[in-house]
């Protein structure tokens, strides 16, 4: 069968790499793709927000299955348009994608289904939100659960824009001034419609982990666990990014913690979405805080994580295409997946200036990268491209903030880490940088 994959990042390169191993695959089309994906699939430009164009592309190329990588087309209803056109696809409807598209929606669902998450309140009015923060910030009020949660932690407090804000929506505030400034920014329109409502929530203490599960509307199937590093600098310092590296499995996600996550968070979510008449079909990516009380939901994403997907695909033994089709067909109850016992780790190489904040400066674009062939020969290493293109002479050019994902498998996280950095040291790209400590927490645990 011919397959269309929508997206252009490292996540999509890893998905494409896994899909090409499927005996069921005819031609893999990726739109728009990147220079790395173009080596293993047919890439063409296509605007995923133009649903008619996507459907026309599917008809012209006899596509029988579409895999939607990023959140924006899912929240924008590309899945619904494909359903209406009778084209099978992987990824939720717009109504189900609200689990990522609206934080307030997800918080309400958690309240309804009794899913453990931070206590919260939601506001569309800045004065009310600020009055709320003032009343709760570090003071010992006793009534609602948010009061207790905030009082017990005293500070910080978390202020979130409701909608998709490309990583700029969340502020973990340690002063009231900071919390108020983000309330003003959101409700004042700095994030566009994404900030028209804010969620104020209690700070959760613990270790973060990412958990992935396929969900076919009724049945859920646990995938692997991962941990990522969101801060730009070594030691988890500096501004937040889309992710500077990740590894799998996450040591904090013991089999018992996985089972609790399935029982207390994932299954109730699938059941609540089905009961509302908006069943979730796709991959649920739960951002978790593993606290002293067990797993708490920080947020949902309705797609694979980037760069978490890269390490999951390195560990997946089974046929990805078959799993995604089983999800779309609603037959996950008859499906199982096999995984390599090995660990996997990925290091993001980014262009100087990434993520493009006042602290880090402007992202440097268009520089030449050399040495990938030698790096790719390091045992256990796969290089996934995130933001690359080729110039007229065929040279590899950096074309984005996050540019390459140097990914390795190993018997342990430590071995995977050693292999990834061995490959990185063979890459000649003076205008790029990467963290040197991806996986430190798992390596320290031994």
**Contacts to ligand AMP by CB under 6 A:** 118, 158, 170, 172, 201, 203-204, 208, 230, 287, 298-299
Which of ligand GLY, ligand AMP, none interacts with 301 (beta carbon under 5 to 8 A by kind)?
Answer: ligand GLY
Q: Which stretch binds ligand GLY (CB under 6 A): 149-157, 303-311, 411-419, 428-436?
A: 303-311
CB of 221 to ligand AMP, least distance (A): 23
Using DSSP's 3-state secondary structure scheme, residue 376 falls into helix
Which of ligand GLY, ligand AMP, none interacts with 306 (beta carbon under 5 to 8 A by kind)?
Answer: ligand GLY
Q: Which stretch binds ligand GLY (CB under 6 A): 25-33, 155-163, 298-306, 385-393?
A: 298-306
Q: Do the beta carbons of residue 1 and residue 65 sit within 8 Å?
A: yes
CB of 285 to ligand GLY, least distance (A): 7
Q: Which stretch binds ligand GLY (CB under 6 A): 12-20, 33-41, 149-157, 302-310?
A: 302-310
Residue with Cβ nearer ligand GLY (228 or 382): 228
CB of 228 to ligand GLY, least distance (A): 5
Q: What's the token pair of residue 144? A: 């609602």
Q: Which stretch binds ligand GLY (CB under 6 A): 80-88, 198-206, 305-313, 423-431?
A: 305-313
Quick count: other Cβ atoms within 10 Å of Cβ 362?
11
Q: What's the token pair of residue 7? A: 């997206």
Residue with Cβ nearer ligand AMP (237 or 373): 237
Q: Which stretch binds ligand GLY (CB under 6 A): 151-159, 267-275, 301-309, 370-378?
A: 301-309
CB of 123 to ligand AMP, least distance (A): 16
DSSP 76: T
Q: Tally the residues of the chain.
A: 446
Instruction: Point out which residues pair with 44 in neighbouring strands.
Output: none
Residues 6+ apart with CB under 8 A from 86: none
Task: Tell me if 301 contacts ligand GLY by CB under 6 A.
Answer: yes
Q: What's the token pair of residue 59? A: 């008809």
Check the CA dihedral 294-297-301-306 and report its sign.
Answer: negative
Which of ligand GLY, ligand AMP, none interacts with 74 (beta carbon under 5 to 8 A by kind)?
Answer: none
How far apart, in Å, are the Cα atoms of 424 and each of 80, 311, 429? 41, 16, 10
Residue with Cβ nearer ligand AMP (118 or 187): 118
Residue with Cβ nearer ligand GLY (195 or 242): 242
Q: How far apart are CA 133 and CA 427, in angstroms?
A: 48
Which of ligand GLY, ligand AMP, none interacts with 201 (beta carbon under 5 to 8 A by kind)?
Answer: ligand AMP
Residue with Cβ nearer ligand GLY (13 or 29): 13
DSSP string over 350-369: EETTTT--TTT-SPP-S-EE
Residues 6+ apart with CB under 8 A from 251: 441, 442, 445
Quick count: other Cβ atoms within 10 Å of Cβ 140?
11
One of 249, 305, 401, 439 touching ligand GLY (CB under 6 A) = 305
Task: Tell me if 228 contacts ligand GLY by CB under 6 A.
Answer: yes
Which of ligand AMP, ligand GLY, none interacts with 242 (beta carbon under 5 to 8 A by kind)?
Answer: ligand GLY
Beta strands in 203-355 (DSSP E): 207-216, 220-228, 231-233, 237-240, 245-248, 281-291, 294-301, 343-351
Q: Do the beta carbons of residue 198 and residue 158 sit within 8 Å?
A: no
Task: Tell me if 242 contacts ligand GLY by CB under 6 A.
Answer: yes
Q: What's the token pair of residue 440? A: 């430190």
Residue numbers at the binding site for ligand GLY (CB under 6 A) = 228, 242-243, 301, 305-306, 308
């Amino acid at each position: 069968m011919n397959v269309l994959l929508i997206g252009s990042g490292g996540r999509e390169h890893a998905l494409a790499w896994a899909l090409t191993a499927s005996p069921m695959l005819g031609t893999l089309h990726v739109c728009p793709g990147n220079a790395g994906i173009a080596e293993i699939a047919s890439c063409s430009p296509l605007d995923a927000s133009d649903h008619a164009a996507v459907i026309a592309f599917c008809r012209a190329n006899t596509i029988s299955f579409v895999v939607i990588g990023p959140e924006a087309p899912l929240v924008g209803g590309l899945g619904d348009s494909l359903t209406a056109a009778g084209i099978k696809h992987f990824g939720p409807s717009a109504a189900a994608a609200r689990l990522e598209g609206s934080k307030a929606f997800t918080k309400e669902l958690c309240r309804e289904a009794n899913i453990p998450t931070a206590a919260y309140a939601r506001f569309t009015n800045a004065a009310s939100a600020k009055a709320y923060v003032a009343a709760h910030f570090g003071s010992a009020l006793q009534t609602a659960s948010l009061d207790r949660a905030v009082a017990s932690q005293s500070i910080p407090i978390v202020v979130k824009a409701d909608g998709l804000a490309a990583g700029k929506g969340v502020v973990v505030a340690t002063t009231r001034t900071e919390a108020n400034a983000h309330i003003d920014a959101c409700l004042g329109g700095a994030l566009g419609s994404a900030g028209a409502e804010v969620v104020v929530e209690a700070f959760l203490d613990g270790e973060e982990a990412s958990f992935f599960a396929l969900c076919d509307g009724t049945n859920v199937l646990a995938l692997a666990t991962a941990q990522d590093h969101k801060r730009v600098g070594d030691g988890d310092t500096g501004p937040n990014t889309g992710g500077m590296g990740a590894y799998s499995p996450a040591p904090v996600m013991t089999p018992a913690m996985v089972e609790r996550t399935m029982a207390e968070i994932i299954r109730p979510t699938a059941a609540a979405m089905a009961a509302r008449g908006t069943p979730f079909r796709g991959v649920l990516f739960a951002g978790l805080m593993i606290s002293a009380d067990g797993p708490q939901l920080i947020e949902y994403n309705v797609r694979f994580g980037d760069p978490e997907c890269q390490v999951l695909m390195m560990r997946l033994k089974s046929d990805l295409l078959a799993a995604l089709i089983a999800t779309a067909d609603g037959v996950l109850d008859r499906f199982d997946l096999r995984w390599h016992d090995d660990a996997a780790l990925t290091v993001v190489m980014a262009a100087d200036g990434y993520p493009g904040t006042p602290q880090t400066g402007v992202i440097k674009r268009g520089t030449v990268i050399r040495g990938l062939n030698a790096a790719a020969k390091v045992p256990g290493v796969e290089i996934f491209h995130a933001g690359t293109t080729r110039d007229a002479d065929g040279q590899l050019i950096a074309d984005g903030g996050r540019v390459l994902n140097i990914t390795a498998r190993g018997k342990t996280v430590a071995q995977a880490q050693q292999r990834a950095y061995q490959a990185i040291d063979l890459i000649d790209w003076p205008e790029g940088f990467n963290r040197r400590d991806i996986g430190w927490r798992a390596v320290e645990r031994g």
